[in-house]
Structure 1
Amino acid sequence: MKYYQCPISQTIGIKAQDYVVPVSCKSSASLKPPRSVHFPNDIVFLDYVRHGELERIGLFIRAKRVNLDTIYHNGMAAIHEAVLSGDLECVKLLVNLGADVHQRDEEGWTPLHMACSDGFPHIARYLLKLGADPELENDCGEKPSDLIDLDNKELLELFGLAIND
């Protein structure tokens, strides 16, 4: 076994033998091939949704590698993740492939609740156009309009709420 001496040990006055790192002399031919890591489909799929990788999302769903009504470890379904990312195209793709606009997460939030809470009027408008129910309440008794930030004039107008200037 050969040793590599840490050059810093010489400059700060530490004994070199205390700071050595063994270096393998084996040839690369005798090394084991690198191990590959495989993640479960759900984790990979949610990552694709978060990053808006539309082609890969479509491939996963068409290959039936995931189920669109699954509530994942984070308490949400894929459509909730897409809404939270603010990616309307991803939301549209998931809906076109069968995601339910009334899907509830583990706290009873619909995608419309999330669009309102996170300030995405373009997504809220799309969901409403598809028939998302603005009267549905989450587990805390809140409607989507109850979650709108009072500074978000576009969402307030969309829900017909008064704007105080």
Structure 2
Amino acid sequence: MKLENSHLIVKKAKNGKGLFSKKNFKRGEKIFTLKGKIITNAKFMEYPKKIRDNCFRFNGASYLSPEGKFGDFINHSCTPNCGIKKSKGKLFIESLKKIKPGEELVFDYSTILASDDFWKMKCNCGEKNCRKVIEQFKLLPINIQKKYLSLKTVPKYILKNYTI
């Protein structure tokens, strides 16, 4: 299956397949809306691990499963160029800095992991500032938490029970 449109393409990346830009994006530009099936937390646990690993927390009670859509292919980086935002009941990917054609779109998975998310994984991003593990937002170093808070890329369901 080839997944591409006028400004995005899925192709081989450092860690499997990734999502790449085909055009310039300005900082703060909406790149695409995450599409997929909304599933409850209970149903989420019934999904195979391979599918759960690619789901996005939608709110405190549900997840978005992007099977076969662009969201399935956006990888993690400890130096992200994108973030997830929520507006009008939809999740979307927004650029955190200028992005050029050919750049892989990446976000920090930790920004969507709440204190009740037990998912974590070894990080393979290879960045100089790599944290070696991807885990809950509250476990990030304070300076990184503050950076993401200032960029407004931390969802309300995380902020609800959050204090620095």
Normalised-by-shorter TM-score class: under 0.3
Q: Which has the larger Rg? A: 1
TM-score after normalising by structure 2: 0.26
TM-score by length of 1: 0.25
- Greater helix content: 1
Higher relative contact order (CA 8 A, sep 6+): 2
Where is the strand percentage greater, Structure 1 or Structure 2? 2
